[in-house]
């Protein structure tokens, strides 16, 4: 071995695989295509509305007619799908507008289906956008202190109802994001009972209480009016074993796909989940904070946006993500 390596040192030249761009493309094992990307979109009632989101340059709150244009473009670009977030007609303590058969998400689904019939439409399932307090379900007190928090079990029935509303409207995939214990089983039972056993569930299985959600909360108008969501979303300091338990529970309850959120700071979680659950489709959500930070840096000329976007998406795919929910989906599809 010594003669082999040192007689003609360096006999092994790794740069031979890097010298030509044609060779680099040939041996690349991590690939990204538009079909791997899902575009999140924010929809609100009205007509002709395209309200810029100041914290997320390039994105807007859209009325259903304007959403239809985005859906057509997404289909033309060959994106894997879109993920819809609703900003409702009104808010109340229970988020009742989320249960309306002709509410904002059913309106949005109808507009997308008419404009782009082949496009996959995924709908976020939660109550934070619909409650006047901004939390992800029905409130209740806990313990002797009487502290207000989300009542897990009271919220489950509402989630099942909301899932059926989405499925009846034509949602292709239901994506519950509230991190309620037992939510996947409740939703699966509710869907099956109403004849929607064919509708898959993409569960936000490992969703962390991240500081990177700020721009999204402005976009979706869902910032908590008191407290925070650490009582139900995962602690960033928790061991990876907790994420594995969450994923295992959701799969056991009937999830067809699972999500890790955020993406880039949690590549280790994506990798561990991929290793422990081979064959399970994994979505990674490249969240608003990841988007806004790079937009700000690129706007100041500190980073070259296109190159960094491709690098980040590649890293997320390499970690094990099957699909990436990204606010760059349209731009990335145009230059991948």
Active-site residue, from 261, 295, 306, 330: 261
CA dihedral 334, 18, 266, 74 (to 10 degrees): 10
> CA-to-CA distance for 63 and 48, rounded, in angstroms?
6
- 207 among known catalytic residues: yes
- 47 among known catalytic residues: no
User: SS3 for 210?
Assistant: coil
Q: Is the peptide bond before 133 cis (omega within 30 degrees of 0)?
A: no
> CA-to-CA distance for 220 and 202, rounded, in angstroms?
20
Active-site residue, from 91, 207, 295, 330: 207
Give every CB contact of residue 89 below 8 A, 6+ residues apart in sequence: 45, 97, 100, 103, 104
Paired sense of beta strands 121-125 and 282-286, if any = unpaired
What would the two tokens of residue 243 be? Answer: 């994420």
Angle at 222 between CA 220 and CA 223, to 5 degrees: 125
Q: For the chain, what percentages of helix, strand and coil (3-state, to nearest 5) are there?
A: 45, 20, 40
Kindly report the three-state secondary structure assignment for every residue of 14-63: HHHHCCCHHHHHHHCCCCCCHHHEEEEEEECCCCCCEEECCCCCCCEEEC
Give every CB contact of residue 4 below 8 A, 6+ residues apart in sequence: 11
> CA-to-CA distance for 279 and 300, rounded, in angstroms?
41
Catalytic residues: 207, 261
């Amino acid at each position: 071995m010594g003669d082999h390596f040192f007689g003609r040192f360096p006999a092994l030249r790794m740069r031979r695989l890097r010298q030509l761009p044609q060779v680099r493309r040939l041996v690349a094992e991590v690939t990204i295509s538009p079909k791997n990307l899902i575009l999140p979109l924010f929809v609100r009632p009205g007509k002709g509305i395209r309200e810029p989101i100041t914290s997320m340059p390039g994105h807007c709150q859209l009325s259903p007619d304007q959403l239809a244009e985005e859906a057509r473009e997404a289909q033309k670009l060959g994106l894997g799908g879109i993920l819809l977030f609703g900003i409702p007609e009104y808010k109340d303590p229970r988020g009742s507008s989320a249960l309306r058969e002709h509410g904002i998400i059913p309106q949005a689904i109808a507009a997308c289906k008419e404009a782009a019939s082949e496009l996959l439409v995924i709908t976020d399932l939660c109550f934070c956008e619909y409650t006047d307090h901004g939390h992800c379900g029905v409130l209740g007190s806990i313990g002797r202190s009487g502290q207000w928090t989300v009542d897990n079990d009271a919220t489950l029935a509402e989630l099942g109802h909301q899932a059926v509303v989405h499925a009846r409207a034509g949602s292709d995939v239901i994506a519950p994001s509230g991190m309620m214990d037992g939510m996947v089983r409740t939703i699966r039972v509710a869907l099956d009972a109403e004849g929607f056993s064919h509708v898959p569930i993409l569960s936000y299985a490992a969703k962390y209480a991240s500081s990177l959600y700020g721009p999204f909360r402005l976009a979706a108008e869902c910032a908590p009016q008191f407290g925070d969501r650490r009582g139900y979303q995962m602690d960033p300091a928790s061991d990876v074993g907790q994420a594995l338990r969450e994923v295992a529970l959701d799969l056991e309850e009937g999830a067809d796909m699972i999500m890790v959120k955020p993406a880039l700071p949690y590549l280790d979680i994506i990798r561990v989940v991929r290793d422990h659950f081979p064959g399970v489709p994994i979505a990674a959500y490249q969240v608003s904070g990841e988007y806004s930070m790079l937009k700000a840096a690129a706007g100041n000329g500190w980073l070259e946006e296109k190159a960094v976007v491709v690098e980040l998406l590649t890293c997320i795919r390499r970690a094990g993500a099957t699909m990436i929910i990204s606010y760059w989906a349209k731009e990335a599809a145009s230059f991948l």
